[in-house]
Amino acid sequence: MNKKYKYLTMLASFLCLMTASCTNFSEASDAEKAEPLNIGVSMTINVPNLKSVKDLKVKLDDLKDDYHYTLPVSEAGDVTISNVIPGIYTISVSGNAYDQNDEEYYINGSVVNKALFSGETKVSVDVQGLKVSPLVFKEIYYAGSKGWYFRDQFYEIYNNSSEVQYLDGVYFAQLYPTNATTKLPVWKTDDGGTCCYGERVWKFPGTGKDYPLMPGESAVISQFAANHQKEIYNPESPVDGSHSEFEFNMNNPNFPDQPAIDMLHVFYQGKAEMGSMPQFLTPVFGGAFVIFRIPEGVAWDPVNDENWKNYDGKSTMPKAKIPNQYVLDAVECVNNEAKSDAKRIPAVLDAGTTWVGATYCSLGVARKVMVENGDTLRRENGAIIYQDTNNSTDDFERGVVPVMHRNGSGVPSWNATYNK
């Protein structure tokens, strides 16, 4: 290469670099010059016989550019949030509501991926209510551990109320879609956002009062209720699941039935049978989960009754229809913060998402303890009260080392594994 050609090549490269840099500087300058907006948010709260609201707040979150705005409000209606930097936002409304009988509801509503720029400054949010649940997900460990090991997944259910609760007949479902996606299903029958859909459904055994949880007690459901730290499984695992209360036993001879009580399998691919794959693996990227109870007198049968099924597009594989009002608690886990707008379930069930941010990392998510003036809130019997606003973004600690019965949550008296 002669000197003249080499010089021209370097000059051209330099000019390209400068052009790109100028473009970047121009974009940054434009962003800084963007006029802040006044955003009007109109909310409609759908709670039967609504009497009052409490702790109502409106949030605007631009997760890409890390802009966040929160406005506490005293009553439903139209509000304005001032000086908002233009961008793509999730607008959410949350709080508590009370009906004429003084029953308490969590209220949530959200609009995701809303472009807020000059000329687009008004948003309407439909806010739904769900009665406060005594049973909540306390901890979920789904990401698996080192060595691509996933048999140590578990889910912990906690009695967050002041009264005894019975697990008998409560259902557990992994929801569809399996993984978080912005390409949501197009359901054959449109339900208007009043349902979520189970891909696989299980049920706690019992005849009514066999499995009580006292206030402050919890029950762990393990994928495989063994001590995973044994050499035969995965010494890198953080989990000893041998004292789990329940397990999802798939009758796999390579992972034999453990002393934990077996969950009852209810639904998968339109059938009561478990399917040909001898494992219940929920996505290590983060699934969506609900616990729910069927009202007395309702014959919920997604295997035999088409009214309790729905289909994604042209798929012939049904999903189990679960009305929102049957749900006790829901948690939507996603890959990472960038997927927080990939909502699979209605905002009334979970207005946010939670995440670990990696797979096979030996980390999970755990519900936050409620604290007031520096003190942990407790029931009269000393049971810890956990935060539950039906917004997993706010309610969960992320990336924690999994611990069953964390913070000394009680072990039910009927757990016989401690006597073996």
Residues sharing a CB contact under 8 Å with residue 25, sequence separation 6 or more, in sequence order: none
d(CA 42, CA 118): 18
Contact (CB, 8 A) for 171 and 277: no
Q: What is the mean pLDDT of residues 288-311?
A: 97
331 has which bridge partners?
289
Q: What is the mean pLDDT of residues 112-138?
A: 89
Give me the phi and psi of 222, to 5 degrees please. Answer: -100, 145
pLDDT at 28 over 70: no
Cis amide leading into 412 (omega within 30):
no
Task: State residue 33's pLDDT score.
Answer: 56
Q: What is the mean pLDDT of residues 116-127?
A: 87
d(CA 323, CA 346): 11
CA 309 vs CA 197, 270, 271, 299, 327: distances in Å: 8, 8, 11, 13, 17
- Most confident residue range from 44-48, 92-96, 402-406: 402-406
Task: State residue 43's pLDDT score.
Answer: 92
pLDDT at 387 over 60: yes
What's the token pair of residue 231? 């050499």
Which region among 30-44, 107-121, 260-274, 322-336 has the lowest average model confidence (pLDDT)? 30-44
Task: State residue 358's pLDDT score.
Answer: 97
What's the token pair of residue 395? 């309610």
Task: State residue 131's pLDDT score.
Answer: 85
* Sign of the alpha-carbon torsion through 301, 305, 306, 312: positive
**Domains parsed from the chain with CATH numbers:** 37-131 (2.60.40), 135-419 (no CATH)
Task: Please state whether the predicted TM-score (pTM) of the whole model is above 0.95.
Answer: no
CA-based radius of gyration for the chain:
25
Identity of the residue numbered 329: D
